[in-house]
């Protein structure tokens, strides 16, 4: 189809074909710029979103520091609310780009939760609530950094500013705020616990490294900022570094490592707030600079895009003009030659043509002119022959002059014309047959064989057949070799797979083995802990046993005392018996006296009856009676005293008896105690037995563990051997493959140099 197009159409096609890559190039250039512009635009979205987040990050810790319900608290809360509202508006616009809705909603919920709960919450809960909100803010900052491309910023200066804005400064603000709140409480109490000290030291360390990182990053940013627009940041950085360092030193020397804490909370808060506001100041300035850098970058890309357009359009225009001229310079002379040739074809030799240029079309025109002159000359010769003039001589213009030669031959061999035509027909037929036979080879059929005939085609057919044989051999060789190569390759693949699975298994085994070892270590540790415990239990048992022994001893003593008491009682009762005997004797005496008194009284009454005047006798009796009466009074007295003593002795005996019963009760109590102590000892020794049992069992388990360990090791070594033999096999396979490749290469060398082959063949013949 292309062949039938006009020259100018062909050239236009050519121009069109060339313009495609140019258009693609242009498109790519512009697209690249657009990507960079979109990238920076998205980064700007991130900085826009960050602004209210930063307000929130300032307000929430302030709210945390202010006492709940105070004026400071409600002020910071209303600022935080404002920031949340601002964020909400932004989030509506940007959430599809920055994918923030989920995290933003979570943050908002946390803030609402804080507000609803803080009035009733204790200080710990309140602190946790604030920490949650701050974590949410920082999470959102980092998230926006990720989704807005800020984290991928391509330029060195803006990257480091971004790094500070996105990561380092929020971290420092969070840390300073936490340290400040913590330290403020400590200064209010004027006391520091070891845990608080540890916490402060950890924070101080984190803050110091953060500060160093900010300083280093900012320096890098400023040093690498070609436009110098970051210069004003330097002052802010210094201010930030100085106030933060002051705050750190204050915390370190006056709180964490101070012998006594004499710093007032107000002083401390002032230093912290100063550091914080410097940090936020740096943040604000940094955001502005970052925006500036991003805008500059966008502007730069836009102007470069415009320049690209203009440049490409200009080049296109110039090319078009040039193409038009070239087309014209070719088509015009050609049109002329074509019209001349057309007339020539009709036999019109009267045409004239002359060259207008020296290029190929000019030469074409000149040659056409020469052809016309030659034709005119030959026509005039032919006219002469036609007129019967056979004496004209025709000489070919050159060895290549077929027309001239033919003309001459026509003249020379008019007579033998019929014979030579027959011969030519024969030859042509032979060639046609041969060609038919050969053409199959072109389709890859090597089974054909050309017929060897006696005519001129015979030699060609013969050498063609020889070539086919050679070709067959080579192709066969190649086919076989390829087959072998593919088999070898498969072999290698299988071996490699075995190898790979082997090493995978090995690494798994090693992981498992190290797990087993770790568990064994822990279990051994537990055994030793158990041993410590059992030592304590044994100790307890000894103490208990000692207590038991003491109790038993006490018991024995008490029993001894009981025996003594009982003996004493027996003695007393014996004495009591003796006394009763005495009483009996006395009672006897009194009986006696009473008898006698009654007898005397009888006598007196008789005497009184016999002699009334002899009253003297009565007087004697009376005396006697008096004396007896005296004695009986005495006896009565003695009896009463005796009775008293008996009574007291009896009392004593009763008391002694009571003592005895008490002692007995005490004794049985002690015996009980002893019994209990002994039971306890029993229980303790039971537990002791269990402990010892457990220790022995655990060591058994350990033994089993090490057995498994040994087994795993042997598996590992087996696998390693497998790997080794696998690689050996692989090496052998590879060697085989190399030699096969060599064979293949030599076959192909033969195939690629048909001339040497052909020469050889001729030589062989």
Residues that bind another protein (CB under 8 A): 135, 138-139, 142-143, 198, 201-202, 205-206, 209, 505, 509, 512, 515-516, 518-519, 522-523, 525-527, 529-530, 533, 690-691, 693-695, 697-698, 701, 708, 711-712, 715
Residue 599 or 689 with smaller CB distance to another protein: 689
Q: What is the rounded distance in angstroms from the CA atom of residue 372 to the CA atom of residue 354?
A: 11
Q: What is the rounded distance in angstroms from the CA atom of residue 375 to the CA atom of residue 378?
A: 5
Q: What is the rounded distance in angstroms from the CA atom of residue 352 to the CA atom of residue 372?
A: 8
Give long-range contacts, CB 8 A cutoff, 24+ apart: 397-405: 403/374, 403/378, 404/378
Residue 36 or 213 with smaller CB distance to another protein: 213
Q: What is the rounded distance in angstroms from the CA atom of residue 283 to the CA atom of residue 575?
A: 112
CB of 521 to another protein, least distance (A): 8
CB of 172 to another protein, least distance (A): 13
Q: What is the rounded distance in angstroms from the CA atom of residue 493 to the CA atom of residue 436?
A: 47
The neighbour count for residue 402, using CB atoms within 10 Å, is 11
Mind giving me the DSSP string for 657-680? HHHHHHHHHHHHHHHHHHHHHHHH
Q: What is the rounded distance in angstroms from the CA atom of residue 749 to the CA atom of residue 747?
A: 5
Q: What is the rounded distance in angstroms from the CA atom of residue 510 to the CA atom of residue 715?
A: 10
Residue 542 or 700 with smaller CB distance to another protein: 700
CB of 527 to another protein, least distance (A): 7
Residue 525 or 553 with smaller CB distance to another protein: 525
CB of 526 to another protein, least distance (A): 5
Residue 267 or 690 with smaller CB distance to another protein: 690
Q: What is the rounded distance in angstroms from the CA atom of residue 667 to the CA atom of residue 673?
A: 10
Residue 81 or 505 with smaller CB distance to another protein: 505
CB of 109 to another protein, least distance (A): 15
Residue 497 or 742 with smaller CB distance to another protein: 497
The neighbour count for residue 208, using CB atoms within 10 Å, is 14
Sign of the C-alpha dihedral, residues 599, 604, 605, 607?
A: positive
CB of 46 to another protein, least distance (A): 16
Q: What is the rounded distance in angstroms from the CA atom of residue 45 to the CA atom of residue 50?
A: 9
Chain CA centroid to CA 452, Å: 80
CB of 518 to another protein, least distance (A): 5
Give the CA count within 13 Å in the CB-facing half-sphere of 239: 15
Q: What is the rounded distance in angstroms from the CA atom of residue 217 to the CA atom of residue 154?
A: 15
Residue 262 or 518 with smaller CB distance to another protein: 518
Residue 527 or 681 with smaller CB distance to another protein: 527
CB of 205 to another protein, least distance (A): 6
The Cα-based distances of 702 to 222, 236, 515, 517 in angstroms read 63, 64, 13, 10
Q: Is 634 exposed, middle or buried (0-12, 13-18, 19+ CB in 10 A)?
A: exposed
Residue 644 or 700 with smaller CB distance to another protein: 700
Q: What is the rounded distance in angstroms from the CA atom of residue 145 to the CA atom of residue 153?
A: 10
Q: What is the rounded distance in angstroms from the CA atom of residue 153 to the CA atom of residue 39?
A: 9
Residue 139 or 311 with smaller CB distance to another protein: 139
The Cα-based distances of 227 to 40, 152, 155, 162, 299 in angstroms read 18, 21, 13, 17, 14
Residue 93 or 515 with smaller CB distance to another protein: 515
DSSP symbol at 259: S
Each residue of 11-28: b (16+ CB within 10 Å) or e? beeebeeeeeeeeeebee
CB of 705 to another protein, least distance (A): 8
CB of 181 to another protein, least distance (A): 17
Residue 79 or 687 with smaller CB distance to another protein: 687
Residue 31 or 708 with smaller CB distance to another protein: 708
Query: SS3 letters for 694-748?
Result: HHHHHHHHHHHHHHHHHHHHHHHHHHHHHHHHHHHHHHHHHHHHHHHHHHHHHHH
Residue 484 or 712 with smaller CB distance to another protein: 712
Contact 472, 446 (CB under 8 A): yes
Residue 206 or 351 with smaller CB distance to another protein: 206
Mind giving me the DSSP string for 99-162? --HHHHHHHHHHHHHHHHHTTT--HHHHHHHHHHHHHHHHHHHHHHHHHTSGGG--SHHHHHHH
Helix 265-345 to helix 233-251 angle (10° resolution) is 140
CB of 57 to another protein, least distance (A): 14
Sign of the C-alpha dihedral, residues 462, 464, 465, 469?
A: positive
Taking alpha carbons only, the member of 616, 621, 629, 617 closest to residue 601 is 621
CB of 698 to another protein, least distance (A): 4
């Amino acid at each position: 189809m292309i062949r039938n197009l006009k020259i100018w159409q062909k050239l236009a096609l050519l121009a069109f074909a060339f313009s495609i890559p140019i258009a693609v190039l242009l498109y790519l250039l512009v697209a690249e710029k657009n990507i960079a512009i979109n990238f920076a635009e998205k980064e700007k979205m991130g900085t826009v979103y960050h602004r209210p987040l930063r307000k929130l990050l300032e307000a929430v810790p302030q709210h945390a520091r202010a006492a709940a319900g105070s004026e400071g608290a409600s002020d910071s809360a209303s600022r935080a609310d404002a920031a949340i509202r601002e964020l909400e508006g932004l989030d509506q616009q940007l959430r599809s780009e920055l994918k923030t809705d989920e995290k933003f909603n979570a943050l908002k919920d946390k803030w609402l939760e804080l507000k609803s709960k803080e009035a009733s919450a204790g200080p710990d809960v309140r602190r946790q609530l604030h920490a949650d909100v701050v974590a949410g803010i920082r999470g959102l900052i980092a998230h926006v950094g990720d989704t807005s491309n800020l984290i991928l910023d391509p330029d060195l200066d803006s990257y480091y500013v971004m790094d500070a804005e996105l990561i380092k400064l929020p971290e420092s603000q969070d840390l300073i705020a936490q340290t400040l709140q913590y330290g403020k409480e400590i200064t209010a109490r004027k006391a520091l616990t070891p845990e608080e000290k540890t916490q402060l030291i950890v924070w101080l360390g984190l803050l110091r490294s953060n500060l160093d990182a900010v300083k280093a990053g900012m320096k890098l940013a400023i040093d690498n900022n070609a436009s110098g627009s970051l210069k004003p940041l330097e002052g802010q950085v210094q201010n930030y570094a100085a106030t933060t360092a002051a705050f750190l030193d204050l915390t370190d020397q006056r709180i964490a490592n101070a012998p006594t804490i004499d710093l007032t909370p107000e002083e401390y808060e002032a230093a912290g707030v100063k550091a914080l506001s410097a940090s936020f100041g740096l943040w604000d300035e940094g955001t502005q600079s970052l925006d500036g850098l991003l805008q500059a970058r966008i502007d730069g890309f836009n102007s470069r895009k415009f320049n690209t357009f203009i440049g490409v359009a200009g080049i296109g225009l110039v090319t078009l003009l040039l193409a038009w001229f070239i087309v014209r310079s070719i088509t015009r002379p050609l049109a002329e030659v074509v019209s001349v040739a057309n007339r020539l074809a009709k036999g019109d030799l009267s045409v004239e043509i002359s060259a207008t240029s020296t290029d190929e079309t000019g030469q074409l025109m000149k040659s056409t002119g020469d052809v016309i002159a030659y034709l005119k000359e030959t026509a005039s010769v032919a006219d002469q022959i036609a007129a019967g003039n056979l004496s004209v001589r025709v000489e070919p213009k050159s060895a290549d002059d077929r027309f001239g030669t033919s003309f001459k031959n026509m003249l020379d061999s008019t007579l033998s014309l019929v014979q030579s035509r027959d011969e030519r027909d024969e030859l042509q037929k032979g060639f046609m047959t041969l060609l038919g036979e050969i053409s199959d080879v072109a389709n890859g059929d090597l089974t054909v064989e050309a017929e060897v005939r006696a005519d001129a085609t015979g030699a060609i057919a013969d050498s063609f057949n020889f070539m086919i044989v050679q070709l067959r051999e080579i192709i066969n060789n190649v086919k076989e070799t390829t087959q072998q190569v593919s088999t070898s390759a498969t072999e290698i693949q299988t071996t490699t797979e075995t190898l790979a699975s082997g090493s995978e298994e090995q690494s798994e085994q090693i992981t498992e083995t190290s797990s087993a070892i770790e568990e064994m270590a822990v279990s051994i540790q537990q055994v030793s802990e158990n041993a410590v415990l059992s030592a304590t239990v044994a100790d307890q048992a000894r103490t208990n046993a000692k207590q038991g022994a003491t109790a038993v001893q006490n018991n024995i003593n008490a029993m001894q005392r009981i025996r003594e008491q009982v003996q004493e009682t027996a003695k007393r009762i014996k004495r009591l018996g003796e006394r009763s005997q005495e009483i009996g004797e006395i009672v006897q005496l009194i009986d006696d006296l009473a008898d006698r008194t009654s007898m005397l009284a009888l006598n007196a009454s008789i005497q009184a009856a016999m002699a009334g005047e002899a009253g003297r006798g009565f007087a004697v009796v009376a005396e006697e009676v008096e004396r007896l009466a005296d004695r009986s009074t005495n006896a009565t007295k003695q009896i009463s005293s005796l009775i008293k003593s008996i009574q007291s002795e009896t009392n004593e005996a009763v008391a002694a008896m009571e003592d005895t019963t008490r002692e007995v009760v005490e004794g049985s109590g002690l015996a009980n105690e002893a019994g209990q102590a002994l039971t306890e000892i029993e229980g303790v020794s039971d537990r002791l037995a269990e402990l010892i049992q457990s220790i022995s069992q655990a060591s058994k388990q350990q033994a089993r563990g090490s057995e498994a360990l040994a087994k795993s090791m042997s598996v590992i070594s087996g696998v390693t051997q497998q790997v080794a033999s696998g690689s050996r096999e692989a090496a052998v396979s590879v060697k085989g493959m190399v030699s096969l490749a060599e064979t293949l290469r030599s076959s192909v060398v033969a195939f690629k140099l048909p001339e040497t082959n052909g020469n050889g063949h001729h030589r062989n013949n």
